[in-house]
Chain A
Amino acid sequence: MNVEDIRSLSFEDSYDRLEEVIRRLEDGELSLEESVALYEEGVQLARHCGDKLDDAELRVTGLLQEAAEEQESAL
């Protein structure tokens, strides 16, 4: 997965992928090249996760209340 692919990931996918990358790297059975590529990917994923958390702004959507006049006595 290259840097562009990672940037397009959601936080959740990025986080899950990071866990998988770590697991695969710890399991071994990889070529040196694959290991290095995975390591670099993992570092990118971790950074991306952090960025996503830092940049997140809570979104709030309000559904319409069915009868507006009933809001008078809302708590």
Chain B
Amino acid sequence: MCPWQAKVCYNGRMWVRSVSQVTRYIKALIDGDPELSGFWVRGEVSNFQRATSGHCYFTLKDSESELRAVMWRSVAIQQNWLPSQGNLVDAYGSVSVYERGGAYQFYAESLAPVGEGQLWEEYQRLRERLAAEGLFSKPARPMPRWPRRIGVVTSPTGAAWHDIQRVVQARYPLAELVLAPTLVQGSEAPRQIVRAIQRISLEPDIDVLIVARGGGSLEDLWAFNDEGVARALAASRVPVVSGVGHETDYTIADLVADLRAPTPSGAAAMVTPDGAVLREQIRLGLESLHMAARRRLDEFRRGLAHAEQMLRLHHPRRAVAEQMQRVDQNMDRMGRALGHRLALRRAQVANGRARLEALSPSLVLGRGYAVVEQRATGQRLSSVAQARPADALLIHLRDGQIDAEVTDIRSITVA
């Protein structure tokens, strides 16, 4: 039944309807028209305003008309992209009436920029601007050798978070994952991601930060092309690894990050040492240890053998034997020297004897000389003055003596 027939007033001349009755009637008409429910409309956005409540108000217009539009917060936060002044958009939604204002409005449930290139162009512009600022050319910081606390900025319900936990559990379960949950899609996501990065930066002992999201279209990944997110990542005190999306597409977040992984799992692997490799290293280390220890022992053993040999070489018995040999050698030398001198002496003696023999009286006597002595005294005469006439003399010749008597003495002058 039509609502106003029941509740109208009569002022004495005609039926009078209330404002709200009229408005409700129009609303009912519009709401009941399938042509005005669930359709696409294209228009240029103007007066786009986002209220503190999160609801968005704007006007869609073309060259001839304007259509006031609303997008509720619950819808707006699902949007990957929100328009600004002058954007040409395709909006999906329905027309209804705002009763308090008595205005019909378009209630947008989805908004998309007209023309595929628009998001891409916006991305390119931001990318060029941040590149010119040097945000992408900072030297990449090294990953921690032993990550203790790994900060993760992602959705708590997404596959990305699940993958990261699985990979870290498998590779390096000694680490701790610190999740800062956030939306990763929709117009609300950039602001939340920035807050999540800031919350992680307030945590103590975080060694590295992963920002991650499962793959998606360029629109799905839009939150990671946000300038605020880029700046928050660039300001991170710890190295950042991005694991956003896609094998091929680079988001702005990828470009700012110290390392870029193609997937969330890849990011988790980049920040953790591989437990299997570590186990192998430990096994090899143990082997090196055995070998080094054996080598050291062998060295000591060889050293010992060498020392023993040296000891044998320097045994006292051996020294005595050596001394003995030296003594023998010296004896030899002494003997030789002695023999030499003996021969010399012998020659000297022979020589002396020869000279002596030359002086021997018997030899002189043999040559016809005689020795004359006083018979009484035995005094040998070498001068006539030693004899007087009638002295008895004894004359020695080679083969006997002659007794004689001095009969005359004549002296001659000796020259």
In whole Å, how far is B82's beta carbon from the nearest beta carbon of chain A? 15
Instruction: Give the number of chain B interface residues (Cβ < 8 Å).
Output: 53
Near B by CB (< 8 A), chain A positions 43-75 give 43, 46, 49-50, 52-53, 56-63, 65-66, 70-71, 73-75
B173's contact among A35, A56, A63, A65, by CB below 8 Å, is which? Answer: A56
Contact between A18 and B174, CB atoms less than 8 A apart: no
Near A by CB (< 8 A), chain B positions 37-64 give none
With A15-B278, A28-B296, A57-B173 as known contacts, state yes or no: A74 contacts B155, CB within 8 Å: yes
A73's contact among B145, B181, B186, by CB below 8 Å, is which? Answer: B186
CA distance A73 to B134 in the complex (A): 34
With A30-B296, A63-B199 as known contacts, state yes or no: A70 contacts B165, CB within 8 Å: no
Of A57, A58, A70, most buried by chain B (CB within 10 Å of CB) is A58
- Nearest A-chain residue to B213, judged by Cβ: A75
Asked if B288 is at the interface of the complex by the 8 Å CB criterion, the answer is yes
- Nearest B-chain residue to A57, judged by Cβ: B173
Contact between A46 and B177, CB atoms less than 8 A apart: no
Which listed segment binds A: B120-128, B279-287, B321-329? B279-287
Contact between A46 and B289, CB atoms less than 8 A apart: yes
Contact between B175 and A26, CB atoms less than 8 A apart: no
B289's contact among A22, A49, A58, by CB below 8 Å, is which? Answer: A22
CA distance A15 to B275 in the complex (A): 12
Contact between B292 and A74, CB atoms less than 8 A apart: no
Contact between B179 and A60, CB atoms less than 8 A apart: yes
Contact between B293 and A39, CB atoms less than 8 A apart: yes
Contact between A60 and B176, CB atoms less than 8 A apart: yes
CA distance A75 to B255 in the complex (A): 23
- Nearest A-chain residue to B147, judged by Cβ: A12
B78 neighbours in A (Cβ, 8 Å): 73
Main SS class of interface, A: helix
Contact between B285 and A28, CB atoms less than 8 A apart: no
CA distance A65 to B165 in the complex (A): 18
CA distance A50 to B179 in the complex (A): 28
Contact between B296 and A46, CB atoms less than 8 A apart: no
In whole Å, how far is B199's beta carbon from the nearest beta carbon of chain A? 5
Asked if B240 is at the interface of the complex by the 8 Å CB criterion, the answer is no
Contact between A46 and B285, CB atoms less than 8 A apart: yes
In whole Å, how far is B156's beta carbon from the nearest beta carbon of chain A? 6
Contact between B292 and A25, CB atoms less than 8 A apart: yes
Asked if A6 is at the interface of the complex by the 8 Å CB criterion, the answer is no
Contact between B300 and A25, CB atoms less than 8 A apart: no
With A12-B146, A50-B282, A60-B177 as known contacts, state yes or no: A75 contacts B296, CB within 8 Å: no
Contact between A74 and B181, CB atoms less than 8 A apart: yes
A18's contact among B181, B282, B295, by CB below 8 Å, is which? Answer: B282
In whole Å, how far is A39's beta carbon from the nearest beta carbon of chain B? 4
Near A by CB (< 8 A), chain B positions 101-159 give 145-146, 148, 155-158
Contact between A75 and B158, CB atoms less than 8 A apart: yes
Of B203, B292, B300, most buried by chain A (CB within 10 Å of CB) is B292
- Identify the 4 closest CB pairs spanning chains A and B, nearest first: A12-B146, A56-B173, A39-B293, A25-B292
Q: Which residues of B contact A (CB under 8 A)?
A: 77-78, 145-146, 148, 155-158, 160, 165, 168-169, 172-186, 188, 192, 195-196, 199-200, 203, 213-214, 275, 278-279, 282-283, 285-286, 288-289, 292-293, 295-297, 299-300
Q: Which residues of A contact B (CB under 8 A)?
A: 11-12, 15, 18-19, 21-22, 25-26, 28, 30, 32, 35-36, 38-39, 42-43, 46, 49-50, 52-53, 56-63, 65-66, 70-71, 73-75
